Amino acid sequence: MHDENTKARNLGDIYRTIYHKGSCSRQSIAEYLGLSLPTVTNNLNRLKEDGLVYNSGFFESTGGRKANMLRCTPNARYAAGIDITRNHLSIAIINLDSTIIASKRIRIPFEDTDAYYQFAAEEMEAIIRTNDIPKDRLLGTGISLPVIVGPDQKSITYAAVIRVSEGIYPRMERHIPSPFLLFNDANSGGLAEAWISPSQRGEVYLSLSNSVGGATINGKDISMGNNCRASEFGHMTIIPNGRKCYCGQHGCLNTYCSANLLANMTNGDLKRFFDELGENKGFQQLFDEYLDHLALGVNNLRMCFDCDVILGGNVGAYMTDYIDVLREKAVALNPYEQDADYIRVCHYKTEAAAAGAALYFVNQFVLDM
């Protein structure tokens, strides 16, 4: 039994080493893990037979024969993510490289009904079928929602943006064939950014969608807090006794930086708002006020966490052209810094929450190897 456990551990360690380093040689794996070359070779042969690892070329010669460059096979496994919002349904399929290989966004109002969940399942099945994804390679499905999810990731402890009844998990289970779990949407978006970022330092993700949320990133993980309510940045008070928030309080960041504030000017079409922003003085005034409030929120996060702040969500996807203006506003509030390069725009411009929810299953696959 001890030998079997050692063999399994070595196999997993070798796979994880290649996965996290991106590419390795046989020699570098042996040195890194302290294993013999025959042990590494035997395990590599097994990983190749299982289609999990392949030779992608050669490293530059250091004087002798060129070493094989070993990489993990991206399409050896897949995971699905479904992002549910008040008015949209997004579906994304990712591979082991965290690359979105297929996605679809559908405008449909959320309904806590079997018909809605069946529709979501059928749309996911259609994407899987269209992209020829073998069912036995699908690791699972992460479902992202604008709610607070319980530690079991099958229950919801708080929901105000959308209304859901108790027992949502067993009701969804009737329709979704693969293993699935529930996730908070902002945490999912933050996880997607954490995995794509080369940084191993702490970062904060601020999700600027129809509701404002966030995630605290620690390396490749998300800090959940004692009650799975960490990083509810949307409910920071930035204007005492200000606008009323859906949570019942007043002056929350959510009421000043929700994507709805902008999209409502164009009948819910956020893209149209930004397309017309340059020529519409009314839009420009509204957006300037929006950036003032966003700078307040971002500066608060910088003061609390002293780390980079990533702008994500629906508005974050459009912020590249306006990041310098926001940075100027943030600098004016900061007593310590003369620039605000710590404010960055998200990598995932679309389907971040769906991709992040799917990433849970990729991470588990790598950990369990």
Which 3 state secondary structure label does DSSP give 214? strand
pLDDT band of residue 63 (cuts 50, 70, 90) is: low
Is the predicted pLDDT of residue 167 greater than 60, yes or no? yes
Model confidence over 263-298: pLDDT tens digits? 999 998 899 999 999 999 999 999 999 999 999 999
Average pLDDT, the chain: 89
Mean pLDDT of 129-155: 91
Closest C-alpha to 44, from 66, 17, 5 = 17
Q: How far is it, in rounded angstroms, from Cα 195 to Cα 199? A: 9
Q: In the prediction, which pLDDT does 118 show?
A: 94
The enclosing H or E element of 122 equals helix 114-130
Q: In the prediction, which pLDDT does 2 show?
A: 54
**Residue 142: exposure state from Cβ atoms within 10 A (0-12, 13-18, ≥19):** buried
Mean pLDDT of 43-57: 90
Model confidence over 89-107: pLDDT tens digits? 999 999 999 889 999 999 9
Q: In the prediction, which pLDDT does 323 show?
A: 96
pLDDT band of residue 56 (cuts 50, 70, 90) is: confident
Strand 180-184 versus strand 203-208 pairing type: unpaired
Structure tokens, 351: 């389907």
Model confidence over 303-359: pLDDT tens digits? 999 999 999 988 999 999 999 999 999 999 999 999 999 999 998 888 888 999 999
Q: In the prediction, which pLDDT does 258 show?
A: 94
Span of 136-150, 210-224, 309-323 with lowest mean pLDDT: 210-224
Q: In the prediction, which pLDDT does 64 show?
A: 62
Is the predicted pLDDT of residue 218 greater than 90, yes or no? no
- Report pTM: 0.83
